[in-house]
Amino acid sequence: MGDKLAAIVQGLVDNGYVVLPNWLDDELRSALRAELLVRQDELSRAGIGRDLEHQQRLDVRNDQTLWLDGLSLQQQQYLAQMDELRQTLNRSLFLGLNDFECHFAHYGPGHYYQKHLDAFRGRSNRVVSTVVYLNAWWPQDAGGELAIYDDKDQLLDKVSPQPGTLVCFLSEEFPHEVLPAGDDRYSIAGWFRRDGVQLL
């Protein structure tokens, strides 16, 4: 297992979340960012709850998103890297993850995503949340941090969206929010899922 993969497994075991700088190499990061920029007019205002309700709630979040379709070389490279992570998590932690869904996201200046959980116990198949940041640079004073809380709403961490950083956390355990971005903020948010297997 590579050092980075081992660090993710260890972080999830120890804390339930992990922040890994330099997960994406620069070439792949900038290719993904370039694709997002070229396809900016395809991005739509994000809704809350993909499957449940398609309503738009601009008071809760106002980023714009586009689901990856796996068609471009850079998407394929990214999805292959995340599949390696999926297999590692399954081997090391027996999570039984069998799917990964992810979307590009763009937070324009002033945009945010209020505190939320990505999965509710028993109501979603999302097990591990992931975010990777695609900006070429991000000044420390530009806001847009991912604030991560524990189940008592105590702030655990404020992650600056630095180029290539990956954040992983257990989807049901950690309320989190995106603080208002001071600049255009580009990312891919994704979820490892455990789908389909119903043991009655």
Ligand X SMILES: O=C(O)CCC(=O)C(=O)O
What is the binding site for ligand X (CB under 6 A)? Answer: 105, 113, 118, 131, 146, 176, 178, 187, 189
172 binds Fe ion (CB under 5 A): no
Report the partner that residue 126 touches, choosing among ligand X, Fe ion, none (CB closer than 5 to 8 A by kind). none
Residue 105 · residue 189 · CB < 8 Å: yes
Instruction: Pick the closer one to ligand X by CB: 92 or 101.
Output: 101
Classify burial at 40, counting beta carbons within 10 Å of its beta carbon; exposed 0-12, middle 13-18, buried 19 or more. middle
Instruction: Pick the closer one to ligand X by CB: 3 or 51.
Output: 51
Report the partner that residue 193 touches, choosing among Fe ion, ligand X, none (CB closer than 5 to 8 A by kind). none
Angle 61-116-52 (CA atoms, 0-180°, nearest 5)? 75
Cβ 146 to ligand X, closest distance in Å?
4
Cβ 129 to Fe ion, closest distance in Å?
6
- Which among 37-45, 64-72, 89-97, 114-122 is the span making contact with Fe ion, rule CB under 5 A? 114-122
145 binds Fe ion (CB under 5 A): no
Candidates 184, 17, 192; CA nearest to 89 is 192
Instruction: Pick the closer one to ligand X by CB: 74 or 187.
Output: 187
Report the partner that residue 187 touches, choosing among ligand X, Fe ion, none (CB closer than 5 to 8 A by kind). ligand X
Q: Which amino acid is at 126?
A: R
118 binds Fe ion (CB under 5 A): yes
Tokens representing residue 44 in the block: 């739509």
Instruction: Pick the closer one to ligand X by CB: 87 or 114.
Output: 114
Report the partner that residue 178 touches, choosing among Fe ion, ligand X, none (CB closer than 5 to 8 A by kind). ligand X
Residues that bind Fe ion (CB under 5 A): 118
